[in-house]
Amino acid sequence: MTRVAVIDIGTNSTRLLIADVSPSDAVQALLRRSTVTRLGDGVDASCTLTPEAISRTCTALAEYRRLIDSYDCAANLAVLTSAVRDASNGPEFTERVRRDFSLDARTLSGDEEAQLTFLGAMHDRASSSEPTVVIDIGGGSTEFIVGHDSTATFHVSLPAGVVRMSERHIHTDPPSSTELQALAHDARATFLAGLPSEERAPVTRGIAVAGTATSAASIDQELEPYDPSRVHGYPLLLATIELLLARLADMTEEERRAVVGLHPDRAPTIVAGMILLSEALRAFELDCVEVSDHDILFGGALRLAGV
């Protein structure tokens, strides 16, 4: 049994998983934390991580470092993704994470991010030759990974995430129908341009990971507090996503903060997330997606344990 810690420093949130990984590749989560740190605030326009966003993220990392020490982990990994890839001061921030918090910090390429996400999403599923797409909607980008069993055969990282698209298109509260239509059009065009038809056509199953999908499953079930066991494996219909979008888009941000099943800090970006998720399903002509609570954190844990 190997005890590991994995931190995902994303565009919208910074998350921690401490887990024991067995020789048979079973991952037993011991501790999870998620903090909305909005590291990617303004990156789409300025290509720079702001001091305020860096400060919020470092505050979360300091707490996570204390938790890692208390669990006596054998190894750690901190992965940095879209916002840091896109920022001119991204390399400097990665070095700071490595130096100040004694973390094995790595800025992942879009391909590396996709591979770890696919590994995490697929590792606890029975072997199947059914062509599957794993959809990972982040703050700055959306990753699509197509494959079967534990093998990814195609992966792409597209520049459409909940923070990026919210900043680009949503400027009123609640958002106007014109803003929502423009966001949907942008997402659709980005996805179709980046997803070759020959990769989309064979796919018959979808798995959605990360905050938008897990939030949708939590809202639909009115979970308070969040329950990973009820979210993992939850079937989410495209029709349900559209109903949730209509409901959430009709609210102000303050009203969304009170929605049962939605973490208040996700209220500013959940509307963009629902649009991205619905357009992702449409791109693959899917009417349902399975929500997975296992994503890049689990993939990182497996990789640290030598899987």
Domains of the chain: 2-110 (3.30.420.40), 126-291 (3.30.420.150)
| 271 vs 22 pLDDT, higher one | 271
Burial class (CB in 10 A: 0-12, 13-18, 19+), 192: middle
DSSP, residue by residue, 151-200: EEEEEEEES--HHHHHHHH--SSSPPHHHHHHHHHHHHHHHHHHS-HHHH
The model's pTM is 0.84
Band of residue 99 on the pLDDT scale cut at 50, 70, 90: very high
Q: H or E stretch including 139?
A: none
Residues near 293 by beta carbon (within 8 Å), at least 6 away in sequence? 209, 214, 228, 231, 232
Cβ proximity of 229 and 294 under 8 Å:
no
Tokens representing 9?
A: 């420093």
The H-or-E segment that residue 306 falls in is: none
Type of residue numbered 145: I
Write the CB contacts of 228 (distance below 8 Å, at least 6 apart in sequence). Answer: 29, 32, 293
With 0-12 / 13-18 / 19 or more C-beta atoms within 10 angstroms meaning exposed / middle / buried, residue 297 is buried
- Measuring CA to CA, how many Å separate 159 from each of 91, 142, 266? 19, 7, 19
pLDDT digits 0-9 by tens, 186-201: 999 999 999 999 999 9
Task: Report the percent of the chain where pLDDT is more than 70.
Answer: 98
Instruction: Give Rg (Cα) of the chain.
Output: 18
Cα separation, 296 vs 195, whole angstroms: 21
Residue 297: in which H helix or E strand, if any? helix 296-304
Segment 121-170, tens digit of pLDDT: 887 765 667 889 999 998 888 989 998 877 788 998 898 999 889 999 99
pLDDT band (50, 70, 90) for residue 45: confident
- 159 upstream amide cis, omega within 30 of 0: no
Residues above pLDDT 90, as percent of the chain: 66
Nearest partner of 195 among 109, 279, 71, judged by Cα: 279
Write out pLDDT tens, residues 5-25.
Answer: 999 998 888 999 999 988 777
Rounded to an integer, what distance in angstroms lies between the CA atom of residue 24 and that of residue 18?
18
Task: List, as one string, the DSSP characters of 221-255.
Answer: HT-SS--HHHHTT-EEEHHHHHHHHHHHHTS-HHH
Give the mean pLDDT of 301-306: 84
Residue 120 backbone class (left: φ over 0; alpha: ψ -120 to 50; beta: rest)? alpha
